Structure 1
Amino acid sequence: MPVDTPDWLASAQRAVRSAALGPRSEHRGRVEEIGDGVAMISGLRDVRLDEVLRFEGGQFGFARVLDPDLIGCVFIDAATKVESGDAVFGTGEVVSVPVGDALLGRIVDPLGRPLDGKAAIEVEERWPIERPAPSIIERDLVTEPVQTGILVMDTLFALGRGQRELIVGDHSTGKTTLATDAMIAQRDSDMICVYVAVGQKTSSVRRAVDALQAHGNFARCIVMVAGSASAPGLQWIAPYAGVTMAEYFRDRGGHALVVIDDLSKHAATHREIALLTRQSPGREAYPGDVFYIHARLLERAAKLSQERGGGSLTALPIAETDAGNLSAYIPTNLISITDGQIVLDTDLFHQGQKPAVDVGLSVSRVGGKTQAPVLREAAGTLRLDYAQFLELEVFTRFGGMPEGRVREQLKRGERIRAILRQPQNAPLRLADEVALLLAVQSGLLDPLSLDAVAAFRDKLPENLDRDAADAMRAISETGELDQEARAALMAAMNRLATQLGDAEPAT
């Protein structure tokens, strides 16, 4: 009488019969040296650059240096249990990250693993972190504006979709705040925002996330964090991973804004890894390819041609200077790569001029081509007037009473400086910026005290929505300002100015 075979045994027998028997090759190496998040490995001759390597204890790293005898591997996980002599296996795959809509509204690490305590992220695609930049023939002219809501940027240093604008300044001068405000201003736009924190303190990242959640549209943002306590490998791949996530939206005809905070710390991480893997040091102990690693990263920001979908990727990299030294190695490298720079000044910051933008050293090499026409028309000679005021102000410090015309220039310049001050996390609408420029250029603010000018700026949006709603709607919908809308704006601002001081109505 036959005996019934148990289910588990039948299943095991089927697995054995279906198993592929025969020789199998695997890429296997050996850890020769290890320390400070870097391992030197022998025996893996077929490994390619940036290939993911698996250690026998389950840890992972990626090949960063390919020498004839040794492979320099950088850990992307804790390497506390890896020892000399351990086996290492090549996976045949390069470092990749998940991409897609599922990442929106999430806080992740550079490998796409969630850091916000929510469920795991389910995506259908993974893209390599290193991708070629669009060729010249695939690019289009940078002509569409990015409205940052920051008056000094939108007016004097316009940012365009597809541009790379460096934000540079000393420690604690408002660099992250400036970039965060630009992201908050996209809450009503069609741009996806990606914030990449490299080597930042947890408290700094927390403030940026809180600002985006409280004032922006966080559901259209991705926050990637590789903090100061993260493995050097995670900090190194973070900017590339963030740009790859943004490229997913660009390549589908969308628009994305990437903030990298900051590349100075990324360069320091690259120097640390290079020295540990015995690469030859150069200026300031940085390896010779420190320019190239940032150039190939920022070149991926572009406005694509209509044949490629017309999408755009705009980059706002951040760099930190020491005592305002813009001629240091990393800042000069980044200035030469990008399409302009916003320089923040420590003295202006401590004087209360926030954002503390140095209008003399800052520049946008794309310029007025990306500025909204109505804003460019309203600005007029604002930049020239403000530059002349700053020079005159220096001379008046030596004493003496300026003559009438100079006195009027000084008064107008002080009002321009007052409207360029802007509170944190409060980006302006395009129509508000146009109205402020019309007010200062027409002389409406000249009779007001500086305190009254600040009150005028704060109360202006609410008053315009009430007294000049049609004009505000026309500017936001058409981007144009006709005579009727201009007259309505001036009438509403005249009434507000009259309430704040005995100002003569302007025409």
Structure 2
Amino acid sequence: MQNTKSSTSLTTALDQTLASFAQARTQTTLELTCREVGTVTFLGNSIARVVGLPNVRSQEQVKFADGSIGLAFNLDPNEVGVVLLNNHTDIKAGSQVQRTGRVLDTSVGESLLGRVVTALGTPLDQGGPLPLLERRPIERPAPTIMERAPVRVPLQTGIKVIDALVPIGRGQRQLIVGDRQTGKTAIALDTILNQKKHNVICIYCAIGQRSDAVAQLIATLRHEGAMDHCIVVVASGEETPALQYITPYTATAMAEYFMDKGRDVLIVYDDLIHHARAYRELSLLLRRPPGREAFPGDIFYLHSRLLERSTCLRSDLGGGSLTALPIVETEAGNLSAYIPTNLVSITDGQIYLTPTLFQKGVLPAVDVGRSVSRVGGKAQLSAYRAVAGDLRLMYSQFQELESFARFGTRLDESTQQSLVRGRRIRAVLRQDQQHPLTVSQQIALLLAANIGLLDEVPLAKIPDIEALLCRTVEQQLPDVCQRIVLGEKLSNEDCQALLEIARQSLHLVSG
């Protein structure tokens, strides 16, 4: 009797189980997904060759079995050349790799401000993990001509010789070029420091730089209170060439997020010579044919599609701007080399730093004769145009006269006076690092030097006069300073008031 009951209960349970399976089968729909999975045939020097991905696209992100990320770089008939973006210790020949179906993207958003990250969005500081942010492709088409607006608003660097003689506008691409150790990064750093009171977001992109140099720059930004409006994107010289290659595009995508929201952004690429070398290394490892001077033939397109994304948008598109300061290193002052020539033709002007002035202690070592801004003059405040209109020509003529005066040639009185004033102008244009000046302070100094007020002052006392003048001009003439910042023209009364402050400073210092 008991056997019959247990058999009946077993049958009932079995029927219930079968009924549950039948119900689940009718309610569940299975979807078949197709995945392309390839195999690594070669691995070495941060690149991999993969077979079995016939439909992979150029610049598509691929994923290896250990979670590493790669970028499809070469699409050959029988294999795909993949560059590796992170650690690949667990990848070997025979490992599987699959398509992701999407291009490489990066995190963008307000939470990145004040942070130090890699091109892949990995934090390098002690700020903890990043929150879930919006993601954007690292590359996108540059704004069209119809989407761009004229460059009319100045980007004040706080550096006298640049703001007065080589002005930069918001939305401009201004190249900083010069030999090694001539102060290129120092100019970019001072420009970033000066933006904290102008509501401009700054992104510093370090490509192939030494880790200690980048750490020192970050420490300076924090010490000066400028890190809150900055993002630092780092690919040091110890990183893979692929990571150095994508870093400027990643930093630009982060900048475009703010530009699309109507903000003004400044981005510094330090420097594009290392970027070109990283790309050359990848290309040669993947057996691409080298072009002129062993650089791939498409290096011009590499940088042009990066810098063309910097612009000033129309007001109906938000009115945001992206100003680019690419840095490039020359050798022995050879501005006509391959990469510098490319970038000069792409950008809207260049600031040329010469080791000759640097060795003389004339800092910043800007060669006014070889530096030019093709756009910034239209965005320059009218006070600069009134004060520094003849300053550039006067200073260039002084440099020519000074070279002749070295030979002991007898000079007439007017030439000697030009030399005296030129030396005072050069002393006024000198500026210590991390000491940016306001527009009003610069105008007062340049006005005094331009009319010859400092001609009789010993060169050793000019820094003292400058310090006193900068302290008093905004305290005693706030209305004049406000009109200068608003872009109004200097009246005769304004000029006389500024000169009176300069005379008082000169009298106090001279005793």
After TM superposition, the score normalised by the length of structure 1 is 0.93
Moved more, 467-476 or 171-180: 467-476
Q: Distance in 2 between matches of 1:258 and 1:147?
A: 14
Give CA-to-partner distance per residue, 1:348-391, whole Å, 9 cap, x none: 11110111011111111114211111111111300010011001
What is the CA–CA distance in structure 1 between the aligned matches of 2:108 and 2:503, rounded to whole Å?
51
Q: Which residue of 2 aligns with 1:35?
A: 44
Pair 1:211 & 2:189 matched = no
Distance in 1, matches of 2:31 and 2:145, equals 50
Secondary structure class of the residue paired with 1:259: strand
Match in the other structure for 2:310: 301
Matched letter for residue 149 of structure 1:
G
For the residues of structure 1 that align with 2:118 and 2:336, how far apart are their CA atoms?
33
**Aligned in 2, Cα 1:23/1:466: closer, same or farther, shift over 3 Å?**
closer
Match of 2:260 among 251, 256, 259: 251
CA drift at 1:488? 2.3
Shift of 1:136: 0.7
Equivalent position amino acid for 1:279 in 2: R
- Determine the structure 2 residue equivalent to 1:377: 386
Q: Deviations over 1:154-199 (max 9, x none)?
A: 1111101111011011111100010111111111112110100000
- Does 1:426 find its partner at 2:435? yes
Quick check: 1:289 aligned with 2:289? no
| Counterpart in the other structure of 2:236 | 227
Runs of 4+ with >6 A deviation: 16-19
Question: Which whole-Å CA distance do the structure 1 matches of 2:269 and 2:28 have between them?
Answer: 49
- Alpha-carbon separation, structure 1, partners of 2:152 and 2:375: 8
Distance in 2 separating the partners of 1:216 and 1:486: 34
For 2:139, give the aligned amino acid. E
Alignment root-mean-square deviation, CA: 1.9
Aligned residue in 2 for 1:189: 198
Deviation at 1:458, TM superposition (A): 2.5
Deviations 1:92-111 (A, max 9, x none): 11110111111111111111
1:358–1:75 distance in 2 versus 1, CA, 3 Å? same
Query: What is the CA-CA distance between 1:471 and the residue it aligns to?
Result: 2.7
Specify the code of the residue in structure 2 equivalent to 1:325. Answer: N
Tell me whether 1:330 sits opposite 2:330 in the alignment.
no
One-letter amino acid matched to 2:229: R
Conserved in 2, the CA contact under 8 Å of 1:100 and 1:123?
no
**1:321 pairs with 316, 323, 330, which one?**
330
Distance, in Å, in 2 between the alignment partners of 1:239 and 1:328 is: 22
| Segment of structure 1 superposing worse, 411-420 or 46-55 | 46-55
- The 1:473–1:367 alpha-carbon spacing in structure 2 relative to 1, beyond 3 Å, is closer
Residue 130 in structure 1 maps to residue 139 in structure 2: yes
What pairs with 1:342-491 in structure 2 (closer than 5 Å)? 342-477=351-486, 479-491=488-500
Q: Which runs of 5+ in 1 are unaligned?
A: 4-12, 503-507
CA distance in 2, matches of 1:92, 1:361: 48
C-alpha contact 2:242 2:279 (8 A) present in aligned 1: no
CA contact (8 A) 2:172 2:376 kept: no
**TM-fit CA distance, 1:480:** 4.2
Distance 2:281 2:297 in 1: 13
CA–CA separation in structure 2 for the residues paired with 1:96 and 1:147: 32
- Measured at CA, do residues 60 and 20 of structure 1 come closer, stay the same or move farther in structure 2, by a change above 3 Å? farther
1:132-171 to structure 2, matched below 5 A, reads 132-171=141-180
With over 3 angstroms needed to count, the CA separation of the structure-2 counterparts of 1:152 and 1:403, relative to structure 1, is: same
Distance 2:34 2:399 in 1: 72
* More deviation, 361-370/188-197: 361-370
Query: Which one-letter code corresponds to 1:394 in the other structure?
Result: S
- Residues 320-347 of structure 1 show CA distances to partners (whole Å, capped at 9, x for unaligned) of 1111111111111111111111111011
Structure 1 CA distance for aligned equivalents of residues 194 and 236 of structure 2: 25
Q: Within 5 A, what are the aligned runs for 1:59-78? A: 59-78=68-87
Shift in alpha-carbon separation, 1:349–1:88, aligned structure 2, 3 A: same
Q: Secondary structure, in 3 states, of the residue corresponding to 1:238? A: helix
Percent identity for Structure 1 against Structure 2: 46
In 2, the alpha carbon distance for the partners of 1:441 and 1:342 equals 22
Cα pair distance change 1:216/1:331, threshold 3 Å: farther
3-state SS, counterpart of residue 313 of structure 1: strand
Counterparts of 1:226 and 1:93, CA distance in 2:
23
Q: Which residue in 1 is equivalent to 2:125?
A: 116
Aligned-partner Cα distance in 2 for 1:498–1:417: 21
Deviates more, 1:208-217 or 1:287-296: 208-217
Query: Match for 2:41: what amino acid?
Result: E
Amino acid at match of 2:427: A
Once the two structures are TM-superposed, the CA of residue 396 in structure 1 deviates from its matched residue by 0.6
Contact 1:211–1:425 (8 Å) recurs in 2: no
1:89 lines up with 2:105 in the alignment? no
- The TM-score, its normalising length taken from structure 2, stands at 0.93
Aligned twin of 1:199 = 208
Secondary structure, aligned partner of 1:318:
strand
CA–CA distance in structure 2, aligned partners of residues 289 and 317 of structure 1:
18
Deviations 1:429-484 (A, max 9, x none): 01011101111012111110111112222232112233334433443356443333
Partner AA of 1:154 in structure 2: D
Q: CA deviation at 1:19?
A: 7.0
- Contact 2:63–2:70 (Cα < 8 Å) also in 1: yes
AA matched with 1:212: L
The 1-side partners of 2:231 and 2:158 are apart by 20
Q: CA 1:303 to 1:379, structure 2 compared with 1: closer, same or farther past 3 Å?
A: same
The 8 Å contact of residues 159 and 370 in structure 1, kept in 2 or not, is answered as yes
The SS at the match of 1:194 is strand
> In the alignment, residue 348 of structure 2 is paired with which amino acid?
D
